[in-house]
Structure 1
């Protein structure tokens, strides 16, 4: 079934039953394919993981078996290099042939034979003196030419502890260790391991056609299978890529997929690489995949038949519900007379549609009521606009009467109150410039200073004039100054000074309000932010220090807001932190 035939089936001309059938069929098909694929992929990954674990364990056991043998040879090396007979023979000046030389050879060969007795994996043990003496037990034959051989030179450079030499082109391994006397190398002891020794240890095959390779630190094969389907260069390249990292990867080599498992021995430094054909590894998985496909096809056919039956029964109630909706679309909002009694989703949809029609009727009635109340509220707002203008005119009358009667303090208080109320009642914006906010504060201080006998002085210090054009929240400075006057200066017997400092720091607009009154304790500061003084201490605006802090944090977030520092009996300093908002930017 191609895309165009599916599109034709679900076109508007097709019945609801056809659409449900197509939808259910597609969903079922996708579900079955998805589940089958997930199961197969999970089984495939599980088989790969189990194979990796099994091969890794087998290689680890082979490495441990080899390590035990090499540790045993290391102990035998120690026995030889510390033997007094060996040391004395290598330091003697006897020459071949002589009776003394034959006696030395007999004693050393008897000792070497005893050392490797019952060690079938050792094919030869030899002692080579730097003075040209060569003694060995086992095969193959050994003579003085060994002293100049590359193997001897390798051991002289690396044989202070234990070293391993691999003959290129063979699987034989030779271990060697220096014989030293008075910090001078006088000879070398070497153990040759049987060729079959390595083969028996690394004969690990998880599948009959799997291959295992062992390479030394020079990337030369120590062990490789007799019949290798992969060329040597490819194996060495793959071994260098994995670098004995105890990992598994899947590689395609000559058109065949292999699972490559690598491990590096900590004792010898050799890398072991196992190549397992994925075809052999996943034979059982492929059989199970085919079985899953057959079962999925049977289940799909049964679900298609069941979908036809279910879609046929659902169609009747859906058509009834559609006719109800068409009637509502034509404007008939009376509750439907037809009742659907089914308890399935269609029955629930019918009940929801019925409640929706009832809710629409209720909302329409609510809209009519709301519109009526809105018109009444608009009239009330129009009437309320007269009150501020009446109050302004009354205050202006008081100011002019005070001026006519020569009362300048009443004139000053009236002008300040008019300016302050214009800012509060006449400006509906939430933001205003810092210059306007300072003007409101100056008006407020002018009013407040006539309440006290001693004068109140307001000092404003601005770092730069352009900061006056920054946008701030309205009425955020007046409650702070009010708190400084009421709680700091009002109780002083000699008046006081309120100092406002405005400056820029770290892309922030910072305002400090400082008074030199009686100060505040930690408990009073906590109570200030807790709101216990907000109503009584802010009678003009109804907002205290806590309200200002919460407004700033709510609009700009942390770390902006208000913080209070005070020394009782000395001063109180309130710091307000704002983001630096230029003019016209809010």
Structure 2
């Protein structure tokens, strides 16, 4: 305790540094702890709200499927001409009338049976103006059903609704023997009813509210969840609480501009998050209420995490404080070590020994001295390097390429004078080859230029190997002559075809070069009819594991070509080898098509 008191009372530089460092570390620790707590809390709330939105969206999607199926049943009934004719001018007391009635009843039963939501169809009723009635559903039928439906206060309003966006409404059940107190009706006039003024023929389907109750019950949540109509009537609910009036959120949700999302809302004086999804066609809105004070946040984990962060910061701060206090007494030791380093031949710059005080000034002078020694050494190295460069240039001058070209030119003229066309042709080709190779290997040239360079090489090889091989070049499109290709790509492939394919075969051969394009990709095939390559060696050729043949003109093998193409164009390009022994070898160049 006494030492701690000294730290905060004695006004030495060492004590001040420790105190200031601790204040900074504690401030940072508090900031990081508070920031982490708020971030974790907000992330947890966002995750819970997002889960709630997914719950309402899933329920709404499931209910939309059921709604679409119910509409389709009503639409099929209203537009099926045979059903309308079954109700029109039919005497149900005759055998034919009974058959029509049985047919209509069977159709309704079939619609209910094939529906995946048949258990929620309370009643489907088909009616004609003379009182002819056909019904199906789990609610028992009655002769009073037609007047009960048609005289209901909601009947005309439901009949006038737009069927393309038929928004469901919750009404009292019109059936005397109903097992449900309330239903969601869908009504449509029969299409072939020509008495449109009175709408005397119609079909009604009553959807049970159990469909919505079962849907909200299936949602995996402990929070209150509701399903309401576009008029704000609650169809179903789950996990309701006395202290939380879920209906209070309805007015604001009905006015919401978007069909899905979440809003923060005050209900019964408490903050809540309300997630909702509305289906525009049916008007049904599903929403879940998340009480803000009951959000599941693991405060134990947060507390432990914050404590560990805070404790770690303090521990690191204390360690740094002790380290800094020790460093104050070490500048002289740093100078001594720096001088020993210089005496050992290391003249590197050391910024740690410089400073604004007297010791720092000495350190600056030592660094300047080290810099001057380094400059002297670098100057000496540069002089030696220049000397070696001059020696190399003198050697190069002895074999200057221009001298070689001039010599070859002189030999060519001598051969011309002596009318030795073979030597003229070979010297001309060799000169062209040397000039092209002297310019480097990695530049891009046109395919036409590459073929001209290849022609010089082939000319020399044909003179050497008389009648050994023929070269056939096919360019499928004239524009491909202007396509760009990395220089000296074809020559190693042709060289390989001659020395590794045709020459070992012991008979004359043909080398085909075919250029074509597809989907902005240039393909060049080099095909020979030599001895071929065993299948187990094709992979090792491009991997560079096969022994290299000495005496090649360019010194560039197949692996080198493949690596160059991959470096220039990417891993998806390069060479591909296919071969069959004693038949052929085909090497395909694949590169992007560019001009």
**TM-score of the two chains, using structure 2 as the length reference:** 0.50
* Structure 1 residues 293-312: aligned runs within 5 Å: none
Cα displacement (A) at 1:131: 9.0
Give the drift of 1:445: 1.0
Superposed, 1:178-577 pairs within 5 Å as 220=233, 232-235=247-250, 237=252, 251-253=265-267, 256-258=270-272, 276=291, 278=293, 313=325, 316-317=328-329, 365=377, 368-387=380-399, 388-424=401-437, 426-428=438-440, 430-434=442-446, 435-454=448-467, 456-491=469-504, 495-531=508-544, 535-536=548-549, 539-577=552-590
By how many angstroms is 1:448 displaced?
1.0
Question: Residues 274 and 537 (structure 1 numbering): CA distance in 2 closer, same or farther, change over 3 Å?
Answer: same
Mapped to 2, the partners of 1:563 and 1:427 lie a distance apart of 28
Q: CA offsets, 1:206-262, max 9 Å, x none?
A: 9xxxx9797777854699999979695535655998xxx9x9975335875236699
Correspondence for 1:113: none
CA separation in 1, counterparts of 2:263 and 2:275? 7
Structure 1 residue 477, shift from structure 2 partner? 1.1
Q: Confirm whether residue 163 of structure 1 aligns to residue 184 of structure 2.
A: no
Distance 1:472 1:270, change over 3 A: closer
Q: CA deviation at 1:551?
A: 1.5
Change (3 A) 1:306 1:519: closer
Q: Secondary structure at the match of 1:163?
A: coil
Q: Secondary structure at the match of 2:577?
A: strand
Mapped to 1, the partners of 2:422 and 2:389 lie a distance apart of 41
Closer, same or farther in 2 for the Cα pair 1:255/1:307, shift >3 Å? Answer: farther
1:114-125 mapped onto 2 (5 Å cutoff): none
In the alignment, which of 31, 34, 38 is matched to residue 29 of structure 2? 31
Shift of 1:452: 2.5
How well do the aligned residues superpose, as a CA RMSD in angstroms? 6.3
> Does the CA-based 8 Å contact 1:215-1:270 persist in structure 2?
yes
CA distance change for structure 1 residues 235 and 379 in 2, over 3 Å: closer, same or farther?
Answer: same
Contact map agreement 2:224 2:241 (CA 8 A) in 1? no
SS of the equivalent of 2:325 reads helix
Larger Rg: 1
Describe the shift of the 1:474–1:357 C-alpha distance in structure 2 as closer, same or farther (beyond 3 A): farther
Whole-Å separation in 2 of the counterparts to 1:312 and 1:453: 85
Q: Deviations over 1:138-193 (max 9, x none)?
A: xxxxxxx9xx9999x95565977x53549xxxxxxxxxxxxxxxxxxxxxxxxxxx
Name the CA shift for 1:33/1:406 in 2 (closer, same or farther; >3 Å): closer
The answer (yes or no) to whether the contact 1:21–1:311 under 8 Å persists in 2 is no
What secondary structure, in the 3-state scheme, does the structure 1 residue paired with 2:460 have? helix
Distance change (3 Å), C-alpha of 1:438 and 1:360: farther
Q: Output the CA distance in 1 between the equivalents of 2:42 and 2:591.
A: 61
Q: Check the 8 A contact 1:489/1:518 in 2, yes or no.
A: yes
- Deviation digits for residues 466-498 of structure 1, max 9, x if unmatched? 544444322211111111122333245653332
Give the deviation of 1:560 after TM superposition: 1.4
SS at match of 2:473: strand
Counterpart of 2:500 in 1: which secondary structure?
Answer: helix
Q: Distance in 1 between matches of 2:458 and 2:321?
A: 85
Distance 2:570 2:485 in 1: 14
Q: Structure 1's 550 and 270: CA in aligned 2 closer, same or farther, altered over 3 A?
A: closer
Task: Deviation per CA, 1:76-122: give whole Å up to 9, x if none.
Answer: xxxxxxxxxxxxxxxxxxxxxxxxxxxxxxxxxxxxxxxxxxxxxxx
Shift of 1:509: 2.9
Report the Cα offset of residue 24 of structure 1: 5.1
Deviation (angstroms), 1:315: 7.0
State the TM-score, normalized to the length of structure 1.
0.51
**Distance in 2, Cα, partners of 1:37 & 1:154:** 55
> Does structure 2 conserve the Cα–Cα contact (< 8 Å) formed by 1:479 and 1:541?
yes
Q: Distance in 2 between matches of 1:226 and 1:256?
A: 13
Structure 2, gaps ≥5 residues long: 1-12, 52-139, 155-170, 184-221, 278-283, 340-344, 353-362
- Deviation readout 1:258-305 (Å, 9 max, x if unpaired): 366999xxxxx9989767574x999x99xx99xx99x99x99xx99x9
Distance 1:323 1:159, change over 3 A: farther
- 1:533–1:544 Cα contact (<8 Å) kept: no
- Give per-residue Cα distances to partners, 1:409-446, cap 9 Å, x unaligned: 1222222112112222x313621423332222111111
2:197: which partner in 1? none
Per the TM alignment, residue 573 of structure 1 is displaced from its structure 2 partner at its CA by: 2.6
Do the aligned partners of residues 261 and 483 (structure 1) sit closer, same or farther apart at CA in structure 2, a change above 3 Å counting? closer
Flag the structure with more relative contact order, 1 or 2, with Cα contacts below 8 A and sequence separation at least 6: 2
- How many equivalent residue pairs? 411
1:77 is aligned to none
Equivalent position of 2:356 in the other structure = none
Residues 158 and 500 of structure 1, relative CA distance in 2, 3 Å threshold: farther
* CA shift in 2, pair 1:548/1:276, >3 Å: closer
The answer as to whether partners of 2:347 and 2:370 remain within 8 angstroms in 1 is yes
Q: Residues 468 and 503 of structure 2 are in contact (CA less than 8 Å); yes or no, is this contact kept in structure 1?
A: no
Post-superposition offset of 1:49: 10
Residue 492 of structure 2 aligns to a residue whose secondary structure is: helix
